[in-house]
Structure 1
Amino acid sequence: MSAKPATTPERPWFSSGPTAKRPGWTPQALSGAPVGRSNRSKVTVGRIRQALDMTREILGIPADYKVFMMPGSDTGAFEAAMWNLLGPRKVQLLAFENFGQLWADDATQHLKLDCEVLSAPYGQLPDLTQIDPTADLVFPWNGTTSGVKVPNADFLDGHQGLVLCDATSAAFCMDLPWDKLDVTTFSFQKALGGEAGIGVLVLSPKAIERLNTFDSGRPIPKVLRLKKKDAADPAIMGGDAINTFSFLVIEDYLDALRWGQREGGLDGLIGRCERNAQVLFDWIEQTEWVDFVAEVPETRSTTSVCLKFIDPAIRAQPADVQAKLAAKVGSLLELEGVAFDVTGYRAAPPGLRLWCGCTVEADDIEALLPWLEWAYAAAVEALKVEGVIA
């Protein structure tokens, strides 16, 4: 077995959600949280409004779009949009990774909509030329579990139906075309390394019009309900909490937003992300045993970078053996304390997944690369000794 690398990442957090906290974070960042206060008090309402205003400012969300928080993280925000808005038109859903498939399953099995699912295997995008501009469209901007993103927004030009975009692993790291998106969701714990449990929902005037004029007739749970007396609830649209939020979570989000402003706003955060990804991309191009799951370079995620094994001797092994190898690599890295939670998603091709979002440091990715080489070689050797690999 080769010697272990001498240098280790200072911050070994490469999980794809919750992601790494911003550099320099400590629990002291939460010391000003208004805990023990009513969520209707001036100070707590003020914290929510401040976070929403900073979100709008950093992301460049238009002034006539509504921005508010939802319980249940990104999942709760996206479910609320689907349950309240979908139904009057045919719906098309792009399913090219786990969460896109989740929304497709909800649309077909639970909401029972008139819908069409445009699917693609892990590593590919569906045929975007098959999108019907008159249909409502549901899709993830970036496939967190596949490492595949849409390359641009050209396929949304002239779209007449509502466009619902799950942007949870794209927000703050990729430039989103707000003029082409009617519903956009993300969560603190993915976008900026915040604590989990709250999602952000952004609605365009077109989406608000749909909310005001469409009644699905279906019962909607209170925590997903966006209407009051047959119209958009003005309190929720104004930023009020739909239920009681954790103000430790919101304080943490405010801390991350302030850091984002210090880093140069959206341009600075995207730049950090792209520098991180490029360090990893350069290594992948030079490494013989691993490759991107995303097959087309223009569709490769710069946040959740998903990798598959391409060593012919490993590719010849059954999928369960490749999965054991991935788990072994992840376990060795975690035991050494150099990288946590880098095994690929369970439904994806066996391999690794590393978060390169804006809260990660490029130097830490650089320091991790020799450890990936070491852990892969050590894992292959260990599985050979165990008789798992012949």
Structure 2
Amino acid sequence: MPDRTDITYFGAGPALLPTDVLEKAAQALLNFNNTGLGIAEHSHRSQHATDIINQAKADLASYLDIPDDYDVLFMSGGGTGEFSATVYNLVGAWVTKKKLEILQQLGVTNEADANQDELVSALKKAVDSELKLDYLVTGGWSLKAYQEAGRLLGPEFVNLATDSRTINNGKFGKIPEESSWKLSKAPAFVYYCDNETVDGVEFPKFPESLAPQADGSGPIVVADMSSNILSRRFPVKNFSVVFFGAQKNLGSTGVTVVVIKKSLLAPACPQPSPSLLRKIGLPIPPVVFTYETIAKNNSLYNTLSIFDVYIAGQVLKKLLNTYPDKVDGQEAVANAKSALIYNALEAHPNVYKIVPDKSVRSRMNICFRVTVNGETDKAESEFLKKGTELGLTGLKGHRSVGGIRASNYNSITPDGAKKLAQFLNDFATNA
């Protein structure tokens, strides 16, 4: 039976966690801070829970340099839940801002003083003629987000600003040039997935066409960073909402993090009332998906998994202790590991075919095919078998696309990446 030290796990998620973090968490499950109770047994209303949340928020803000005008929310539902939550909340923010514009046009400053039938009629007209959500579809997860928006609102409100499959023979693996994107004039938001785990595609940098202007204007940008968060620096202020499931680079399955501009929350931008949303034909968000409610309650509106937040907090502590330069230090390591693996693949083009275009290769999810003597399925089965014998596990590609996928998350050590690179060389040489 293999020991934990014998295994280097390259699974796409839930991902490998640092052993020392797990050891500390195991003790906390039995007796947290000498309280005689395990951390999973303490009330989410306790001071222990509040302290764990506040410390994790502070450490995340420190590690990523999140400005003070952003809030950090811990939620449930995973990234898939956020496909819905972003629609509910940002459409609500759009309605609130549009309502203020209409009130000005009606010559009143207080909603109570407006003719309600006139206000609702004008709002409904604006929704029908102006509301658009833009999606950049570059892989399986952004496609799912786009489809969910259409399901919730209706396809007439959702704009497919770009679809990578149109430039890659019906498959994902490239990102179209920004000049070809068909962005709406004033969308409620522009949505993209920064790193596609299934297809191994990562945006190399923040899209220039979405950058804020000198006067601060520009689109509301939403990004799913579930699988590359904490692995590189990104311009937080260019985004209105960033969300990520914890189970790749931050912690264990069960908690989802949302980083959101406070200007999109009450009191600056209160969500419209359910009665108003009904009148103008828009869906009403479940309360547990309402950012305003979660923020107001410091992520404790409902029973949050404090144990999962604790693990995330311990991972952040370890990162901050390991890298004095914070995320920049981890980024350098991530880049070096991915370069090592890609170099090994490129050294044997007769055996390995890297799936995505070189310009958008993910540093986190390295997707490739293995072919020996014209056989792919047989070669990949042999590759996975030999890898497992060496303790290199979790390398099977996503069920929807097949192939091989090495997920190079932060918990993969440089030695683990070297071990995989050596195996890639040895397998190809002996094929």
- For 1:71, which of 72, 76, 91 is the aligned residue? 76
Report which of the two has the higher share of helix. 2
Q: Is the 8 A contact 2:340 2:421 kept in 1?
A: no
List per-residue Cα deviations over 1:28-56 (Å, max 9, x = no partner).
Answer: 33423423121111111111111111111
State how 1:298-377 maps to structure 2 within 5 Å: 299-309=360-370, 313-314=374-375, 322=376, 325-334=379-388, 336=389, 338-348=391-401, 350-372=402-424
Q: Which residue is 1:109 aligned to? A: 151
Q: Which residue is 2:197 aligned to? A: 144
- 1:257 matched to 2:316: yes
Distance 1:60 1:177 in 2: 9
- For 1:208, which of 261, 265, 270 is the aligned residue? 265
- 1:83 matched to 2:141: no
Distance 2:77 2:416 in 1: 31
Tell me the CA shift for residue 242 of structure 1: 3.5
SS at match of 1:35: helix
Distance 1:56 1:100 in 2: 26
Distance 1:110 1:218 in 2: 7
- Aligned residue pairs: how many? 355
Partner AA of 2:91 in structure 1? L
Tell me the CA shift for residue 222 of structure 1: 2.9
- 1:296 matched to 2:358: yes
Distance 2:77 2:385 in 1: 30
Q: Is the 8 A contact 2:150 2:158 kept in 1?
A: yes
SS at match of 1:191: coil
Comparing 325-334 with 264-273, greater Cα deviation is found at 325-334
- For 2:172, which of 87, 97, 122 is the aligned residue? 122
Q: Is the 8 A contact 2:370 2:379 kept in 1?
A: no
Percent of aligned positions with the same letter in both sequences?
A: 20
Comparing 51-60 with 364-373, greater Cα deviation is found at 364-373
Q: Which residue is 2:97 aligned to? A: none
Distance 1:14 1:259 in 2: 20
TM-score by length of 2: 0.75
TM-score by length of 1: 0.82
Distance 1:82 1:337 in 2: 45
Q: Is the 8 A contact 1:165 1:184 kept in 2?
A: yes
Classify 1:237/1:290 alpha carbon distance in 2 versus 1 (closer, same or farther; 3 Å): farther
Distance 2:373 2:176 in 1: 28
Distance 2:283 2:384 in 1: 44
Tell me the CA shift for residue 377 of structure 1: 8.7
State how 1:50-65 maps to structure 2 within 5 Å: 50-65=55-70
Tell me the CA shift for residue 325 of structure 1: 4.7
Partner AA of 2:343 in structure 1? D
SS at match of 1:342: coil
List per-residue Cα deviations over 1:1-41 (Å, max 9, x = no partner).
Answer: xxxxxxx9854111121122125444333423423121111
- 1:169 matched to 2:227: yes
Q: Which residue is 2:304 aligned to? A: 245
- For 1:220, which of 274, 281, 285 is the aligned residue? 285
SS at match of 1:169: coil
Tell me the CA shift for residue 241 of structure 1: 2.2
Structure 2 unaligned residues grouped into runs of 5+: 33-38, 95-130, 165-170
Classify 1:327/1:112 alpha carbon distance in 2 versus 1 (closer, same or farther; 3 Å): farther
List per-residue Cα deviations over 1:63-85 (Å, max 9, x = no partner).
Answer: 11111101022333443222221
Q: Which residue is 2:210 aligned to? A: 156
Q: Which residue is 1:236 aligned to? A: 295
State how 1:250-289 maps to structure 2 within 5 Å: 250-264=309-323, 265-288=326-349, 289=351
Classify 1:103/1:248 alpha carbon distance in 2 versus 1 (closer, same or farther; 3 Å): same
Supply the RMSD in Å over aligned alpha carbons.
2.7
SS at match of 2:248: helix
Structure 1 unaligned residues grouped into runs of 5+: 1-7, 227-231, 315-321, 381-390
- 1:187 matched to 2:241: no
Tell me the CA shift for residue 238 of structure 1: 5.5
Distance 2:152 2:88 in 1: 10
SS at match of 1:28: helix
Q: Is the 8 A contact 2:44 2:304 kept in 1?
A: yes
Classify 1:263/1:236 alpha carbon distance in 2 versus 1 (closer, same or farther; 3 Å): same
Q: Is the 8 A contact 2:186 2:219 kept in 1?
A: yes
SS at match of 2:298: coil
SS at match of 2:393: coil
Q: Is the 8 A contact 2:80 2:145 kept in 1?
A: no
Distance 1:325 1:311 in 2: 6
Partner AA of 2:358 in structure 1? V
Classify 1:311/1:191 alpha carbon distance in 2 versus 1 (closer, same or farther; 3 Å): same
Tell me the CA shift for residue 328 of structure 1: 4.9
Tell me the CA shift for residue 248 of structure 1: 2.3
SS at match of 2:81: helix
Distance 2:25 2:6 in 1: 20
